[in-house]
């Protein structure tokens, strides 16, 4: 029988979702500015790719802080829901995107059978997130109309963004959280 979620885990998941929903709203504004900057140069699609990893951070952070099956999907979906409820102009589409992104991250941790919660798992999660989300958005945004060079460039930029935010920054958040937990244990 699988162990049930504890109340502290549920509260931590809610905090992650609430905080990242707000971060996603900030990323929405940053996206609009970046889009305005890149559009006249002919690089508008890269605005999404450059910031993409920021929008997917809730999943690896949730998985690292709550190391159990399902936490990545739940973290990303609830953060996307929070973003939508905060008033994001992406609307309900953010929740569907959050599900796809969370599923990709979850696949990375599932590949280790949920036995590893480390940089290697984050690496696999970044690959899963990039592939799952890129396939979804390939059709959503019509990337098929681009030449192969542009498609590869978009994919590489997305992978770099997801790697930076999902491996480097999510790993640092996890380390910081673990330090706080240790300090709390030493000084109850």
Helix axes 58-65, 119-140, angle to 10 degrees: 150
Q: What is the pLDDT of residue 1?
A: 43
Per-residue pLDDT tens digits for 66-90: 999 999 999 999 999 999 999 988 8
Q: pLDDT tier at 186 (50, 70, 90 boundaries)?
A: confident
pLDDT beyond 90 at 3: no
The answer, yes or no, to whether residue 187 has pLDDT greater than 80, is: no
What tens digit of pLDDT does each residue of 114-146 get? 999 999 999 999 999 999 999 999 999 999 999
Quote the pLDDT of residue 85: 93
Question: CA-CA distance, 31 to 127, in Å (whole number)?
Answer: 22
Sign, CA torsion 123/61/50/136:
positive
How is residue 109 written in tokens?
């941790």
pTM of the prediction?
0.93
Structural domain boundaries of the chain?
14-186
| pLDDT for the residue 2 | 66
The two three-digit tokens of residue 145, written as one number: 């109309």
Res 88: pLDDT: 87
Q: Tens digits of per-residue pLDDT, 40-68?
A: 999 999 999 999 999 999 999 999 999 99
Give 60's Cβ-side CA count (13 Å radius).
37
Give me the percent of the chain exceeding a pLDDT of 90: 89
């Amino acid at each position: 029988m699988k162990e049930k979620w504890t109340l502290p885990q549920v509260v931590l998941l809610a905090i992650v979702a609430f905080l990242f929903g707000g971060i996603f709203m900030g990323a929405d504004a940053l996206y609009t500015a970046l889009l305005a900057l890149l559009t006249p140069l002919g690089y508008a699609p890269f605005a999404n790719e450059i910031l993409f990893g920021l929008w997917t951070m809730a999943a690896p952070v949730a998985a690292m802080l709550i190391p159990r099956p399902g936490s990545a999907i739940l973290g990303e979906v609830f953060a996307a829901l929070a973003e939508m409820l905060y008033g994001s102009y992406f609307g309900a589409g953010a929740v569907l995107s959050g599900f796809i992104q969370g599923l990709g991250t979850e696949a990375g941790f599932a590949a280790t059978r949920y036995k590893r919660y480390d940089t290697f798992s984050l690496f696999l999660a970044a690959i899963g997130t990039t592939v799952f989300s890129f396939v979804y958005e390939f059709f959503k945004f019509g990337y098929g109309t681009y030449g192969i060079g542009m498609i590869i460039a978009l994919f590489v930029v997305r992978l770099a963004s997801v790697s930076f935010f999902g491996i480097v920054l999510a790993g640092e958040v996890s380390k910081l959280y673990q330090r706080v937990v240790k300090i709390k244990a030493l000084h109850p």
